[in-house]
Structure 1
Amino acid sequence: MYKFALLGCGRISKNHIEALSTLKEEGKAEFVACCDIVQEKADSVASQIGCTPYYSYSHMLNDGKFDAVSICTPSGLHPDHVIMAAQAGKHSISEKPAGTSLESVDAAIDACDAAQVLYLVIKQNRFNKTIQLLRKALEAGRFGQLYMISSNVFWTRPQEYYDQAKWRGTWEFDGGCLSNQAAHYVDMVQWMGGAVEDVSAFSSTLARRIEAEDTIVVNLKFRSGALGSINVTTLTYPKNLEGSLTILGEKGTVRIGGVAMNKVETWQFADNSPMDKAICEADTNPKSVYGFGHLDYYRHVVDVFDGKVEPLVTGREARKTVEIIEAAYEG
């Protein structure tokens, strides 16, 4: 039974708690500690799952009765919290994005290398059944030459969402809709398309009172010659509309849509394959844009700890997403 500590008891922590509650029932992993600077939040989670609450991250690390820290703090703090865990000899499971700057992410990577601990970043959408099926088709070469990869993230976040926490929408701790809401989609585009050699973007803050952008259009050129685009906004009226990924190739066209890449909307290839029969089984209907991937992600982490598989998303792999986001903001 692997023991985890939860750092940050806010919005996304619920998904982590639900995932490890299932794994605890299976005798594989559990949260034994949680920490939040807001005492009421830490106490609430601790009473819910039966773990020890802390109000100081350093104090929790000093107690050290766990194997890894699940980091659910504001994005700009992720690298510092990874570094502190590494210095305490703990593995890190960081929420997306790995950080808000390449410099800070690289520092976290170096710290984990020096301490010989794992630095893993949560990209739960890679474990969507729809995305797993798409990746299988891509690796089988069914698309032939890739022409275009496009992703749309048309969600809504009212001003009240940003007002709930002072760090939201700030450059230092959050970034805008590309860094926060669309980080998983940036990861998906580069995972499918491969190395990116050029990035350009137009962004604007049209309606929200925040430092960073609420709307952005990003253009990509892949080393393969394929082109890509990522279109993101948090201004969609009146609710979340779409979280999609479309791949156009020489011999295939696939669009994975729904609100969180959870539905196969188009699946056409020049050839037939037994995998085509799995299309209907791949569709899901998640209650939120977070999807169902956290449980499968933690199962993967347990397999990594057991030495059964290599980690799918290390700090270095997650760095690619931060590199694209930083290039988009600079461009």
Structure 2
Amino acid sequence: MSTTPAPAAPAATLRHFLVDTDLTPAEQSEVLDLAQSMKAERFRHRPLAGPQTGIVFFDKTSTRTRVSFAAGIADLGGQPLIVNPGETQLGHKESIADTARVLSRMVSVIVWRTFAQSGLQEMAEHATVPVVNALSDDYHPCQLLADLLTVREHKGRTEGLVMAYLGDAANNMANSYLLAGVTAGMHVRIAGPAGYLPQAPVVAAAEARATETGGSVLVTTDAAQALDGADVVVTDTWISMGQEDEKEARQSLFRDYAVDAAAMGTAAPDAIFLHCLPAYRGFEVAAEVIDGPQSVVFDEAENRLHAQKALMAWLLYRSGLATAPDGAPGAAGVGPETTGR
């Protein structure tokens, strides 16, 4: 009998989700497959059974993000711990690095809705559990997973579809639509006024990813060019948190990028309309559009729950911190036995 020991299982790599391109095209598809499976069987996956704790920090107000992460952690068998601004020492009396080290000994996943992307990066550098960007000034990647899930449900695919985003295109939503959209193989068109378009590094990153997937990028000031034949039409509020005093000026600035019946008439006849909400009817979108038959915004809102559950489970599985049920989409062959933690 051989006495040669069996080779050790390779250590799993700790995974975080801080920006849309943290998932490869194949991995993004795995997460979306898992989300569709979880939506069909809501309580099959229990990677946080125990219950283990998932901590969710909010530096900004929230409705959908708060409820979907809290419900999602509970659905996964865990206990959500919601932390509001000013309730901890995070970033004030205690460094982000030290906070990450402490939390990693107490919780199984760290979710943070914050301002600076650099804070999330520092948290991930020092954490030994997955860190999730629930929104930053630069990106909103969890929203895009929900949006892509919604596109899949209503269009049957993402690859090759044209997605047009109109309005304030210098914000986190436009950045994530570019990056996540091309990762999903879509042709992403971004339209906004001069001075309110995505920054060059984000566009370059999207173009690089598009070469892998067959997607494409168009950034323009011409709303009609972006809308022409689009399969998916998207907009976002013109007045984000902290911009309330600019309301009149921004109304005038973005008026030509409002999504109304005429705009939808320029898109494909079977185009769907997305909005991450909250929406301001009569500003960035007409009531007849968001409340009309082409609108799928409430499916989109619900899908925050399913997409984020899938993301958290996938990160735990891929990090070797939980075992996936047999036959789970995209999660086979990973579990605690491979962890290096």
TM-score, L = length of structure 2: 0.45
Q: Name which one, 1 or 2, has greater alpha-carbon Rg.
A: 2
| Structure having the larger proportion of residues in strand | 1
TM-score, L = length of structure 1: 0.46
